[in-house]
Amino acid sequence: MNIIKRRLLNHFIKDIHSLKDLENPDFGEGLKRLKNKIKKFSTPKEEIKQQMDVELCKINEYIYYKVQDKNNKNNSKKVLYIHGGAFFLEAIDKHWKFCLRLSKVTGCEIIFPFYPLVPESNSENSHNMLLSVYKELISNNKPEDITIMGDSAGGTIALTLSMLARDKGLPVPNEIVLITPVFSIGKIDEEENKRLEEIKKHDYYINEFPIEKIKELWCGNLDVNDYRVNALNGSLKGLPRITIFSGTYDIMNIPTRKLVSKLKKEGHPYYYEEKEGGVHIYVVSKNSKKELELIVSRVMGE
């Protein structure tokens, strides 16, 4: 990370850290003020539009994009990509550039929803919107051509969405890809606590984020243990193979290992890649070429 980006990140972390002692609803109001200060990056920039076909779509009062590389079009493969942002931040340029690289190699079309965020909304509204997008996607495409993918908060939402689709009797996607997903850390033993304290020395992305307070807003009327807001409590039955990426310099590595243990214990098909020294969302970096190759193979159904 260059000096300018690190300074901007530190400034942002300082702002959000100032909210940590507030309780809801004051915390929610503070989060709203912070969001209003942040420059909006959601829509694809001109650089993306020059290289990708970009279609703006609407479903009810919400919007989503369909994007695809202009020069490589494999019209059968679709990726429903759920961006991260700690449940309250909009998409950033890094997300679009990752989607561009993915589409250039695979020719896939990427469906990119702008799902409702906190504090203005909550998980139930987001899930309803995403389910509507998925229903439309599945009605026009074969399940074996669809991958649900997400990074950070979008990773846990991607897993939850797949569970919701299954529970509603919808066909599940061919693949689920979770990029450094965000889960509640929950109860941890002494050894995990030691690891957590060590990881905090290196995690400059979300270590200072008041994730649990943000999750309170995300829960809305749902219990904190409900699988719809804590995917670690959800059933894996009927889901496809799950590919997971996590780094050892990411505090979310602690609960991610719990998911991997659950997958292994239940004999569910999965692939787990843990990068030594990997930070949060390291996979979406242009330097993560090996990780991109694996994701490409998943999208192509290999």
CATH number at residue 284: 3.40.50.1820
What is the predicted pLDDT for the residue at 209? 78
* pLDDT at 4 (0 to 100): 46
Surface-to-core class of residue 18, CB atoms within 10 Å of its CB (0-12 exposed, 13-18 middle, 19+ buried):
exposed
How many structural domains are present in the chain? 1
Please list, in sequence order, all residues whose beta carbon lies within 8 angstroms of the beta carbon of residue 217, skipping any fewer than 6 positions away. 24, 27, 28, 31, 87, 88, 118, 119, 122
For residue 113, say if its preceding peptide bond is cis, omega within 30 degrees of 0: no
**What is the full DSSP assignment across 214-276?**
HHHHHHTTS-TTSTTT-GGGS--TT--EEEEEEETTSTTHHHHHHHHHHHHHHT--EEEEEET
Residues of the chain whose pLDDT is less than 50?
Answer: 1, 4
How do strand 109-113 and strand 62-69 relate by DSSP bridges? antiparallel
- Considering only CA atoms, which of 105, 107, 124 is closest in space to residue 116? 124
Residues 175, 143: Cα–Cα separation, whole Å:
9
| Separation between Cα atoms, residue 10 and residue 30, nearest integer Å | 18
Q: Which domain holds residue 161?
A: 3-299
Can you give the pLDDT at residue 9? 56
Give the pLDDT score at 205: 74
Specify the pTM.
0.94
Q: What is the model's pLDDT at position 185? A: 86
User: Residue 273: what pLDDT?
Assistant: 98
**Rounded CA separation 106/69 (Å):** 9
